[in-house]
């Protein structure tokens, strides 16, 4: 438990550090040093368009990240009937209170909070993912993967121009790291260039992980399930996939896709039951 609590503090700091490094490299290294084409007008220059795209992706990723943290499940626990006296201890053991609002309501030891439609505990946000912040969490994963892909392409272009190498061969990226390490220790490669190369593989790993997690989460939403329900073997009532999507994303899903806003009509299912 002590290790998990430490990870719950270190992981968000690690993510924010990676985000800051990515922002600095993009704004102060990649964009000024690359995509210089004198034939284009300043309004439609590749550097300006690329910078606008990166800022859009970064703003959505960071905005949804903040909303996931702010959408704390703590308030939900106050509205649930957890019973009296020692009933709360049952939540610590993983059992459910008879008065819980939903079968997937769960008490998290790390958060010490009750989460409605509990999915999992995210260490990178230090918060549980449930009914209030599921949509923001998916948008956070989506835009983080896109921002990492954008940074990966920009970084490869920067390395290609700086080291005069081509990535036309698919094996060039795979052999880049071992060749760069040997050149770095031989003094033929600068430390700043080596740092960018290491960041390329970090962006690739984070981007693929976030994309895979986003796809897996969307599959569970289409089925009307949560990871907690799958792990516990809970049987859920079959519903049309459109209703499952609308319960998480709301009717105005396009607004939440373009702008980091909180709970765009995500209470559709509750209103329908009323």
Could you say which of 108, 122, 141, 210 is catalytic?
Answer: 122
Do the beta carbons of residue 112 and residue 89 sit within 8 Å? Answer: no
Classify residue 248 as exposed, middle or buried by CB count within 10 Å of its CB (0-12, 13-18, 19+): buried
Decide if 215 is catalytic.
no
136: number of CA atoms within 13 Å, CB side?
27
pTM of the shown model = 0.84
What angle in degrees, to the nearest 10, is found between the helix axes of 191-223 and 241-249? 130
Per-residue pLDDT of the chain (274 residues; tens, 9 = 90+): 788 889 888 999 999 999 999 999 999 998 887 656 555 555 567 788 888 999 999 999 999 999 998 876 654 445 444 444 434 444 444 444 444 445 567 888 887 777 888 899 999 998 899 888 899 999 999 999 999 999 999 999 899 988 888 888 878 898 999 999 999 999 888 999 999 999 999 999 999 999 999 999 999 999 999 998 888 888 888 889 889 988 888 887 888 788 888 765 544 444 444 4
Structure tokens at 95: 């059992």
Angstrom distance (rounded) from CA 112 to CA 102: 18
156: number of CA atoms within 13 Å, CB side?
18
- Residue of 253, 273, 274 lying closest to 264 (CA atoms): 253
């Amino acid at each position: 438990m002590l290790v998990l609590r430490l990870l719950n503090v270190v992981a968000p700091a690690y993510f924010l550090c990676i985000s800051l490094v990515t922002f600095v490299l993009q704004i102060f290294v990649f964009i000024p040093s690359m995509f210089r084409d004198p034939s284009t007008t300043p309004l439609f220059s590749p550097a300006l368009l690329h910078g606008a795209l990166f800022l859009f992706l970064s703003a959505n990723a960071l905005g949804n990240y903040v909303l996931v943290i702010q959408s704390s499940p703590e308030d939900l626990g106050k509205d649930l009937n957890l019973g009296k006296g020692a009933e709360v201890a049952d939540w610590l053991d993983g059992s459910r209170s008879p008065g819980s609002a939903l079968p997937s309501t769960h008490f998290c030891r790390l958060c010490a909070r009750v989460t409605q439609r509990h999915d999992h505990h995210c260490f990178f946000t230090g918060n549980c993912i449930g009914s209030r912040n599921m949509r923001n969490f998916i948008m956070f994963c989506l835009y983080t993967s896109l921002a990492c892909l954008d940074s990966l392409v920009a970084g490869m272009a920067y390395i290609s121009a700086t080291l005069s190498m081509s990535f036309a061969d698919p094996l060039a990226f795979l052999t880049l790291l071992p060749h760069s390490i040997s050149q770095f220790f031989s003094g033929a490669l600068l430390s700043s260039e080596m740092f960018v190369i290491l960041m390329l593989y970090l962006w690739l790993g984070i981007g693929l992980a976030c994309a895979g997690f986003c796809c897996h989460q969307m599959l569970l939403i289409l089925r009307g399930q949560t990871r907690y329900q799958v792990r516990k073997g809970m049987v859920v009532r079959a519903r049309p996939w459109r209703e499952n999507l609308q319960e998480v994303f709301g009717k105005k899903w396009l607004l939440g896709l373009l702008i980091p806003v909180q709970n765009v009509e995500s209470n559709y299912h509750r209103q329908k039951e009323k």
